[in-house]
């Protein structure tokens, strides 16, 4: 029997929302304080996913102020397709509030934002048989809106607040047969996370809760996948039902540390007596009938393309003047004359290696493993020396340093997950290689770059940075380390 491995999209890809158009599936995730916002993926089988763009890829759509805190920004999108057009609705929690963008193709271009004046987060869109557009938000409320202007035509109407657990959120409305189903997350997005569902004859309610709620939770279990929730449903062309959801993979001693953030998992769904039934989310499941693996783009970037790959993200903004692929052809140049610059990609595997070849010139630049500004490990080159620097909350400490010759050097971080009975979830080893030298500089405990220490909703991002002057990067290579 063919099986697939969970997660289907590893690393910091939380709050998945999925829709199917014909035989193609499209999926969106939260992006929080990072720009561009809301990564978009395509699949033909729900297992193999390729990033095809970002819905919010220009400042006119996403303009996060410099003081936007880590884990603020863009929350919980819902992606839907209706009457030949794609709709993506989300919330900028510190800015414009709830809004949606539209596109003819999921790759974009996506429209400018259309505001929806309803308080709340985690918005959802659904259309009834009369063409009315309904917007549900955490709480849970539903409103009838104009999908062209965002104007509220009716509501918001309180419809169902779940089973009594904290934070009823992530509502999704589905029309299945003669029933409207309202699926939500509750219990908080940590260990108590769960999925519950109710149904009604109308989007307005009244809603009848499922007798077996919650239909999914891993709380108080020793399963390797935890915090399961914030789910969305989709049907395959063969009539089978599937659920995408977020989860975590904690490691190490109590309380357990997850470092990759909340990831996207896939699990099958059955319908029994008019209700969806979902078993525990396993590391392996029987695969969907369709099987369409495709060639993923290389994880090594030689910076020879005319534009940056979709996977590169930066905190809050990425001004055009801060980076260039043409200033030094075949190299990425980062310029910190106006402000420090960081360009990274999500860590997606517990065991991995990331390397970069850097010409620091007269600047200060390097390779960083980042949770947020206050939780990061850097290996940087400046003033003829390479150093490993750890930032943990208010403490910033230089761990190791040594001289390096002028010119390009290669900086590397090797990340190795530990056994389950150790305190640290993983160990990060930093090294430098240059002409006639290859030196391991430091080994650091990974728990300080975890959600349990840093807090927030994101995961690790590994990338290049410049804090002074200008530096050039010949290539960046990220690989899963197979044991």
- CATH number, position 371: 2.60.120.200
Residue 82 domain boundaries = 3-286
> Would residue 441 count as lying in a domain?
yes
> Would residue 455 count as lying in a domain?
yes
> Would residue 300 count as lying in a domain?
no
436 catalytic? Reply is no
Contact 23, 13 (CB under 8 A): no
Report the pLDDT value the prediction gives residue 422, as an integer from 0 to 100. 82
Do 359 and 233 belong to one domain?
A: no
Q: What is the 3-state secondary structure (H, E, C) of 354-389?
A: EEEEEECCCCEEEEEEEEECCEEEEEEEECCEEEEE
Q: Chunked in runs of 10, what are the mean pLDDT values of the chain (483 residues)?
A: 95 98 98 98 97 97 95 98 98 96 97 97 97 97 97 97 96 97 97 97 97 97 97 97 98 92 98 96 93 86 96 97 96 95 98 97 96 98 97 96 94 92 92 92 97 97 97 97 78
Question: Which one from 15, 33, 57, 186 is the annotated catalytic residue?
Answer: 15
In total, how many domains does the chain have? 2
For residue 149, the 8-state DSSP code is T
- CATH number, position 209: 2.115.10.20
> Would residue 241 count as lying in a domain?
yes
> Would residue 299 count as lying in a domain?
no
Report the pLDDT value the prediction gives residue 253, as an integer from 0 to 100. 87
The full DSSP string for 201-252 is: SSTT---EE-TT--SEE-TTS--SSEEEEEEEEEE-TTS-EEEEEEEE--BS
Report the pLDDT value the prediction gives residue 331, as an integer from 0 to 100. 98
Do 214 and 107 belong to one domain?
A: yes
Question: Which one from 92, 169, 359, 445 is the annotated catalytic residue?
Answer: 169
Report the pLDDT value the prediction gives residue 296, as an integer from 0 to 100. 79
> Would residue 298 count as lying in a domain?
no
Report the pLDDT value the prediction gives residue 295, as an integer from 0 to 100. 80
Report the pLDDT value the prediction gives residue 197, as an integer from 0 to 100. 98
Report the pLDDT value the prediction gives residue 436, as an integer from 0 to 100. 83
Contact 146, 131 (CB under 8 A): no
Contact 40, 25 (CB under 8 A): no
Report the pLDDT value the prediction gives residue 483, as an integer from 0 to 100. 67
Q: What token pair was written down for 41?
A: 């993926």
154 catalytic? Reply is no
Helix (H) or strand (E) holding 453: helix 451-454
For residue 322, the 8-state DSSP code is G
């Amino acid at each position: 029997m063919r099986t697939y491995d969970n997660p289907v999209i590893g690393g910091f890809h939380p709050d998945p929302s999925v829709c199917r158009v014909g035989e193609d599936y499209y999926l969106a995730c939260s992006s929080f304080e990072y720009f561009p916002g809301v990564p978009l993926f395509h699949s033909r089988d729900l297992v193999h996913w390729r990033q095809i763009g970002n819905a919010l890829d220009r400042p006119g759509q996403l303009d996060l102020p410099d003081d936007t805190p880590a884990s603020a920004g863009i929350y919980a999108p819902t992606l839907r397709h209706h009457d030949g057009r794609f709709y993506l609705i989300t919330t900028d929690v510190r800015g414009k509030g709830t809004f949606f963008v539209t596109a003819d193709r999921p790759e974009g271009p996506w429209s400018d934002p259309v505001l929806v004046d309803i308080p709340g987060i985690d918005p959802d869109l659904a259309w009834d048989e009369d063409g009315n557009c309904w917007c549900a938000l955490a709480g849970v409320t539903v409103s009838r809106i104009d999908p062209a202007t965002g104007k509220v035509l009716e509501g918001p109407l309180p419809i169902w607040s779940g089973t009594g657990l904290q934070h009823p959120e992530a509502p999704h409305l589905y029309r299945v047969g003669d029933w409207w189903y309202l699926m939500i997350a509750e219990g908080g997005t940590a260990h108590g996370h769960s999925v519950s569902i109710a149904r009604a004859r109308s989007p307005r309610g009244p809603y009848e809760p499922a007798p077996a709620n919650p239909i999914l939770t891993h709380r108080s279990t020793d399963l390797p996948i935890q915090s399961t929730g914030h789910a969305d449903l989709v049907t395959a062309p063969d009539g089978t039902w599937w659920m995408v959801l977020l989860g975590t993979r904690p490691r190490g001693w109590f309380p357990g540390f997850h470092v990759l953030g909340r990831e996207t998992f896939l699990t099958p769904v059955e319908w029994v007596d008019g209700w969806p039934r979902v078993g525990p989310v396993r590391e392996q499941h029987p695969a969907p009938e369709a099987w369409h693996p495709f060639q993923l783009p290389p994880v090594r970037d030689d910076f020879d393309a005319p534009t940056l790959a979709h996977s590169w993200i930066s905190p809050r903004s990425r001004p055009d003047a801060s980076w260039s692929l043409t200033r030094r052809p075949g190299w990425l140049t980062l310029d910190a004359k106006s402000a420090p610059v960081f360009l990274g990609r999500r860590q997606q595997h517990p065991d991995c290696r990331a390397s970069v070849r850097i010409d620091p010139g007269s600047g200060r630049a390097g390779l960083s493993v980042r949770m947020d500004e206050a939780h990061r490990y850097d290996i940087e080159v400046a003033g003829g020396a390479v150093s490993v620097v750890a930032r943990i909350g208010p403490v910033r400490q230089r761990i190791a340093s040594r001289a390096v010759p002028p010119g390009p050097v290669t900086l590397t971080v090797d990340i190795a997950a530990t056994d389950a009975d150790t305190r640290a979830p993983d160990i990060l080893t930093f090294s430098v290689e240059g002409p006639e030298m290859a030196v391991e500089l430091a080994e650091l405990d990974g728990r300080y770059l975890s959600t349990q220490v840093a807090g927030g909703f994101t995961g690790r991002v590994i990338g290049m940075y410049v804090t002074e002057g200008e530096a050039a990067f010949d290539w960046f290579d990220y690989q899963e380390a197979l044991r």
